[in-house]
Structure 1
Amino acid sequence: MVPPFAEVMDWQHSMSMITNLTNEIDPIRDERSGKVREVGGQAIWSLSSCKPGFGVDQLRDDCMDTYWQSDGQLPHLVNIQFRRKTTVKDICIYTDYKLDESYTPSRVSIRAGTNFNDLQEVEVIDLNEPTGWVMIPVKDIRERPIRTFMIQIAVTSNHQNGRDTHMRQIKIHSPTDQRTLPFDEHGTFTTVDCKQYSCVR
């Protein structure tokens, strides 16, 4: 007999139950360490709806006290369109169930494509009363970061069956190219004299 958990793991779309731990997820720290770079600033952002004064500017102002508030029927959409094909490693969303309650997303769908007409779902995430950053890895069928012209973040349901949604911040991360010389795969340099040859300058 196949346990229910195994059946869930076999779904076409990977379904994840995430309870966010703010101490573990810190996109700012990852950016400063050079692991990823934030590429949302290279994109054009649009929303399916918003209350006046609660739109894209609030979603991207690096302030956890402001937020986007939708104003319409589900699903609520955040559209991120890049001018050129961009590698996306993960999407970080900041929500606060303690403050927003029924406005907090409970299910989020991530879609990717070249434009609005060919978007395909690449990830679905269930959120359990999240407070803080939630990191959603975005991968292609080969388990590599996707390359895309467009990302759409769709809130398909809210906690307590709420109608509108609050999202406080969104960051889009691209991996930094940390490859150096081909022989790096055989080990790393340990002495100061050798480390000067560890990358092409």
Structure 2
Amino acid sequence: GFGVDQLRDDNLETYWQSDGSQPHLVNIQFRRKTTVKTLCIYADYKSDESYTPSKISVRVGNNFHNLQEIRQLELVEPSGWIHVPLTDTHKKPIRTFMIQIAVLANHQNGRDTHMRQIKVYTPVEESSIGKFPRCTTIDFMMYRSIR
């Protein structure tokens, strides 16, 4: 197996391998409260077989002591990216200091788990480039066209 650094190395051939009893936890902490929209996890049953997660819980919160489960996923022989929306009950992106991914069960009752990649996406912010304020005063209207 490989270490936690392999979860972010953009290489689908490497993986993080847990060690010990379930649940297996991956904790993602941010320096400041961050708006997050989607969590993506790469899983490959054909490569990992009994090491492949079959039940995952996604939790968010300010720290380890107040995590709330926002999604629970049942995976059946996954192959590829699993997209997990990180939204509240009103479909708005969540603001959080921490995301915890808990592997609750593996395929074929496997003990340890493999995770190949994890990505966290924030919402795309609209750019102010190309947006001009509406010039509606009389003074501005005098100069709105070029002669």
Instruction: Determine the structure 2 residue equivalent to 1:115.
Output: 63
Instruction: Determine the structure 2 residue equivalent to 1:17.
Output: none
Distance across 1 between alignment mates of 2:8 and 2:127: 30
Which structure has the larger Rg over C-alpha atoms?
2
Give the share of equivalent positions with the same residue, in percent: 64
TM-score (normalised: structure 1): 0.63
Instruction: Determine the structure 1 residue equivalent to 2:96.
Output: 148
TM-score (normalised: structure 2): 0.86
Distance across 2 between alignment mates of 1:161 and 1:178: 45
Find the partner of 2:72 among 118, 124, 135.
124
Matched position secondary structure for 1:175: coil
Deviation at 1:198, TM superposition (A): 4.3
Distance across 1 between alignment mates of 2:3 and 2:54: 20
Structure 2 unaligned residues grouped into runs of 5+: 133-147
Q: Which residues of 2 match residues 179-190 of structure 1 at below 5 A?
A: none
Which structure's relative contact order is higher, taking Cα pairs within 8 Å and 6+ residues apart? 2
Letter in 2 for 1:81: Q
Q: CA RMSD in A?
A: 1.7
Distance across 1 between alignment mates of 2:46 and 2:76: 12
Instruction: Determine the structure 2 residue equivalent to 1:169.
Output: 117
Deviation at 1:178, TM superposition (A): 2.2
Matched positions, count: 133
* Structure having the larger proportion of residues in strand: 2
Matched position secondary structure for 2:42: strand
Q: What whole-Å deviation, never above 9, does each CA across 1:42-98 have from its counterpart, x for those lacking one?
A: xxxxxxxxx6xx121111111000000000000000000100000110100011100
Distance across 2 between alignment mates of 1:64 and 1:80: 20
Runs of 4+ in 1 over 6 A off after TM superposition: none
Letter in 2 for 1:157: A
Instruction: Determine the structure 2 residue equivalent to 1:136.
Output: 84
